[in-house]
Amino acid sequence: MEAENHTGLSQFLLLGLSEDLKMQPILFGIFLSMYLVTILGNLFIVLAVGSDPRLHTPMYFFLCNLSLADICFISTTVPKMLVNIRAQSKNTSYIECLTQVYFFITFLGIDNFLLAAMAYDRYVAICHPLNYTVIMNPRFCVLLVLTSWLIMFCVSLIHVLLLNRLTFSTGTEIPHFVCELAQLLKVAGSNTLINTVVMNVLSAFLGVVPMIGILFSYSQIVSSLLGMASLASKYKAFSTCGSHLCVVLLFYGTALGVYLSSAVTHSAQGSMIPSVMYSVVTPMLNPFIYSLRNKDVKGALGRLLGRAALGL
């Protein structure tokens, strides 16, 4: 096919999860259900935190932002996939694909930074309780979140600008359900060395720095817990970290699955299931993890639903 220099008429073909026509209605139903559950679950977290003054603390401020980021993250991928399945079409325009790449990278990175900020919040709360309100003041918390957004907006812009210099054939097939940066580099018709180097460097930096922050925070938390004499105090302190730790393990576990499957199979199909896990399943499970393991969130959700029922 003739190489097109990324004009507005250029089209990509997103092959999706399966080309079996009999599977399309099943996939549509499954992913529509998962999308609606994710939106409702995270929206309930946002409304519960916003409506209950008892949850106006740094920990729940970060949780609220994580839920908003998860809503945006899953909305970047699933609606387009559902439209393509419903219309029996695989076409995605060049602009749509680059837009999806931009927001996919943005919200994935924001999730990463927010998990690190939440780990730091638990570290300060457990290891420096007397200075907690001074260190985790509202201005500092807002600054952390805004910095995360700004960094990821800039990083995503760098990737998209570098993608814009590449050429692609009209009708290029992308064996994935989402326009993912790594997959686009594999199907590009021009030299991608600069893109690959930048992608690897920025991915390593954005992955390693938050991970180091999380590991440091939990190493200090464990050290502080070991120094506590009372078993009840240890349990009470660590119980506040349980939900966050579950989300961290789920997020990094699925992301590691994508990396390892890509390294082993060198194919998009091999990393498809791990990609679904961290881009669709993880955002869906996060609100359940926090609501089921957190008495404050469960109480706020109960009061929120109670007020809604009375309003009806």
Domain ranges of the chain: 3-311
| Range from 142-151, 170-179, 276-285 that averages highest in pLDDT | 142-151
Q: For domain 3-311, give the CATH superfamily.
A: Rhodopsin 7-helix transmembrane proteins (1.20.1070.10)
- pLDDT band at residue 265 using 50, 70 and 90 as cut-offs: low
Which of the residue ranges 64-73, 144-153, 286-295 would you say has the lowest mean pLDDT? Answer: 286-295
Instruction: Please give the pLDDT value at position 73.
Output: 93
* Crossing angle of helices 24-51 and 58-87, rounded to 10°: 160
Look at 237 and 136; give whichever has higher pLDDT.
Answer: 136
Averaged pLDDT for residues 130-136? 92
Amino acid, single-letter form, for residue 183: Q
Tell which residue, 252, 294, 289, 277, has the closest CA to residue 67.
289
Per DSSP, the residues of the chain read: --EE-S-TT-EEEE--S---GGGHHHHHHHHHHHHHHHHHHHHHHHHHHHH-GGG-SHHHHHHHHHHHHHHHHHHHHHHHHHHHHHHT--EEEHHHHHHHHHHHHHHHHHHHHHHHHHHHHHHHHHH-GGGHHHHT-HHHHHHHHHHHHHHHHHHHHHHHHHHTTS-EETTEEE-SSS--HHHHHHH-SS--HHHHHHHHHHHHHHHHHHHHHHHHHHHHHHHHHHT-S-HHHHHHHHHHHHHHHHHHHHHHHHHHHHHHHHHHH-SHHHHHHHHHIIIIIHHHHHHHHHHHH-HHHHHHHHHHHHHHHHH-
Tell which residue, 79, 73, 85, 77, has the closest CA to residue 15.
85
Long-range contacts of 136-142 (CB under 8 A, 24+ apart): 136/58, 138/58, 138/61, 141/58, 141/61, 141/62, 141/117
Place of tokens 């932002």: 65
Half-sphere exposure of 60 (CA within 13 A, CB side): 21
Look at 141 and 169; give whichever has higher pLDDT.
Answer: 141
Work out the number of other CB atoms within 10 angstroms of the CB of residue 158.
15
Give the angle subtended at the CA of 139 by the CAs of 138 and 140, to the nearest 5°.
90
Task: Please check the confidence at residue 61 and state whether its pLDDT lies above 90.
Answer: yes
Which of the residue ranges 28-37, 125-134, 243-252 would you say has the lowest mean pLDDT? Answer: 243-252
Q: Which two tokens stand for residue 269?
A: 């199909």
Q: Which two tokens stand for residue 118?
A: 């939440």
Task: Please check the confidence at residue 7 and state whether its pLDDT lies above 50.
Answer: no
- pLDDT band at residue 6 using 50, 70 and 90 as cut-offs: very low
The rounded distance, in Å, linking the Cα atoms of 99 and 77 is: 11
Q: What global pTM score does this model have?
A: 0.87
Place of tokens 């109670």: 306
Averaged pLDDT for residues 253-273? 64
The rounded distance, in Å, linking the Cα atoms of 113 and 210 is: 6
C-alpha separations of 44 from 52, 60, 83, 118 in Å: 12, 13, 26, 19
Work out the number of other CB atoms within 10 angstroms of the CB of residue 43.
14
What's the mean per-residue pLDDT of the chain? 84
Instruction: Please give the pLDDT value at position 266.
Output: 54
Instruction: Please give the pLDDT value at position 24.
Output: 84
* Crossing angle of helices 138-163 and 193-226, rounded to 10°: 160
